[in-house]
Amino acid sequence: DIVMTQAPLSVSVTPGESASISCRSSKSLLHSNGNTYVNWYLQKPGKSPQFLIYRMSNLASGVPDRFSGSGSETDFTLKISKVETEDVGVYYCGHGLEYPYTFGAGTKLELK
């Protein structure tokens, strides 16, 4: 199975400042078709996970452009610029390259 490793486990950010979350995969997620199969989800407190970014850098419909995804074949970053109170929750990376799909352990974003 592909192991997804996230860092840090938690991050505390002042509203209006930026936050970055890292995710590393144990295998390249770059497919021969040129797509990189890493996705990002946010689970707000008490809610189901919601989909944020697909194929490393593509924002889901309705996701503010304060969110961005980038990376290489095995190292990925989710960046949130100008963090707002609604961004609080646990962020998970996950891959879609092959079965079984797996998720990282999550990074909890809190406000200072």
- In the complex with other proteins, the residue whose CB is nearer, 16 or 99, is 99
* CA dist., res. 77 & res. 20, Å (int): 7
- C-beta separation of 67 from 59 below 8 A: yes
Instruction: Report the nearest approach of other proteins to the CB of residue 100 (Å).
Output: 4
In 3D space, the residue among 93, 5, 83, 4 whose CA is nearest the CA of residue 41 turns out to be 93
Pairing relationship of beta strands 107-111 and 10-13 according to DSSP bridges: parallel
Q: Which of residues 21-80 bind other proteins (CB under 8 A)?
A: 37, 39, 41, 48-51, 54-55, 60
Provide the mask over 73-112, with x wherever binding to other proteins is found by CB under 8 A and - wherever it is not: -------------------x-x-x--xxxxxxxx------
- C-beta separation of 66 from 82 below 8 A: yes
- Binding residues vs other proteins (CB under 8 A): 1, 37, 39, 41, 48-51, 54-55, 60, 92, 94, 96, 99-106
